[in-house]
């Protein structure tokens, strides 16, 4: 057996170089990707320590095998209650490291091939949930405009709906990212260091202008800060404030009762409303920062109104379509299958 496969320093060195050389220097991935990969390997190393009875510094390439990875993926779903989507995201990080090992340590090629042979798990993709225009208006008006928190929350929800931003993009907006003028716009910092500019509606522009003045925000300040210290909101903060608004809005709009509404629901809602307004799907993809319009195509699948219009155009009211009836016995048999 090759000594590299049983040397703990070889495994540790490969993992460190994977982050420092491969991810940071060669690929220059975003800080969010580094954090996601880091968290995956924290979980994996802690799990391996419990299973193998070795601290992470004593693990070898032989320990990093398909059996360990399969057991770890099962642990994520059964004990940590991760969704299949989260499980696959963790596995993607492990696969990236396995491919790096195959390039840097050829003796481990067989171990790597067995890991890469593990498939991504398929899962049912639910239809996209979104809000009606009436529900959006009730939610936007739910926060108390007479308080600091209420005014901040109104801006926060207006930004989510106007821009279709991911919650991580919204909380990272600085005052300097906003351009207020005849044609106002907002610069968003998206996934993978990608930036995009989104136009602002007149109503959103007026609210932002009033908010910046009211909260006395400087250009370097977060546009939606916390009350203490002016730090950016967190994802959890945003979800909690939205939950409060939904509870209040439900009293006025019963259709919100029992609905699972998250900050990401605003993103889906923006896309659906743009689609229903006749905006081209490629423009919506650019608006949302999608890599490909293929991702945006899911909104077409979810829009029942568009499907109903298509059905009406195919079979106009009052026109009876005759169904084909085979006359041959063999054709009847095939038709019955």
Report, as residue numbers or ranges, the catalytic residues: 166, 191, 264, 267, 290, 299
Number of C-beta neighbours around residue 26 at 10 A: 9
CA distances to 196, 316, 317, 324, 326 from 321, rounded to whole Å, are: 48, 10, 11, 10, 16
Question: What burial class does residue 30 get, using C-beta atoms within 10 Å of its C-beta: 0-12 exposed, 13-18 middle, 19+ buried?
Answer: middle
Instruction: Give the angle 70-27-49 at the CA atoms, nearest 5°.
Output: 30
- The partner residues of 112 in beta bridges, in order of sequence, read none
Contacts by residues 235-241 (CB-CB < 8 Å, ≥ 24 positions apart): 235/167, 235/168, 235/171, 235/263, 238/156, 238/167, 238/170, 238/171, 238/263, 239/167, 239/263, 241/143, 241/149, 241/153, 241/156
Give 197's contacts (C-beta < 8 A, 6+ positions apart): 185, 186, 187, 188
Contact 224, 173 (CB under 8 A): yes
């Amino acid at each position: 057996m090759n000594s590299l496969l049983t040397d703990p320093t070889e495994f540790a060195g490969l993992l460190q170089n994977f982050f420092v050389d491969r991810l940071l220097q060669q690929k220059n991935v975003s800080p969010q990707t580094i954090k996601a990969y880091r968290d995956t390997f924290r979980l994996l190393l802690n799990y391996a320590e419990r299973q193998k009875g070795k601290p992470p510094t004593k693990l070898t390439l032989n320990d990093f095998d398909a059996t360990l990875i399969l057991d770890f993926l099962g642990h994520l779903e059964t004990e940590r209650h991760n969704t299949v989507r989260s499980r696959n995201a963790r596995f993607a990080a492990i696969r990236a490291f396995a491919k790096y090992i195959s390039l840097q340590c050829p003796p481990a090629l067989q171990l790597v091939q067995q890991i890469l042979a593990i498939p991504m798990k398929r899962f049912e993709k639910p239809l996209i949930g979104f809000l009606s225009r009436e529900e959006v208006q009730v939610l936007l008006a739910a926060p108390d405009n007479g308080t600091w928190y209420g005014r901040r929350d109104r801006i926060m929800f207006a930004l989510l709906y106007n821009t279709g931003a991911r919650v991580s993009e919204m909380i990272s907006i600085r005052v300097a990212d906003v351009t207020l003028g005849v044609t106002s716009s907002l610069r968003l910092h998206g996934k993978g260091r990608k930036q995009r500019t989104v136009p602002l509606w007149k109503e959103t522009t007026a609210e932002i202008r009033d908010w910046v003045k009211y909260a006395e925000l400087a250009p370097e300040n977060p546009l939606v800060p916390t009350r203490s210290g002016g730090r950016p909101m967190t994802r959890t903060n945003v979800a909690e404030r939205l939950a409060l608004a939904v509870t209040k809005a439900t009293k006025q709009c019963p259709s919100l009762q029992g609905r699972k509404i998250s900050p990401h629901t605003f993103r889906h809602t923006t896309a659906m409303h743009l689609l229903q307004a006749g905006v081209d799907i490629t423009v919506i993809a650019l608006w949302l920062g999608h890599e490909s319009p293929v991702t945006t195509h899911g909104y077409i699948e979810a829009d029942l109104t568009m499907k109903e219009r298509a059905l009406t155009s195919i079979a106009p009211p009052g026109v009876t379509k005759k169904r084909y009836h085979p006359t041959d016995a063999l054709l009847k048999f095939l038709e019955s299958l």
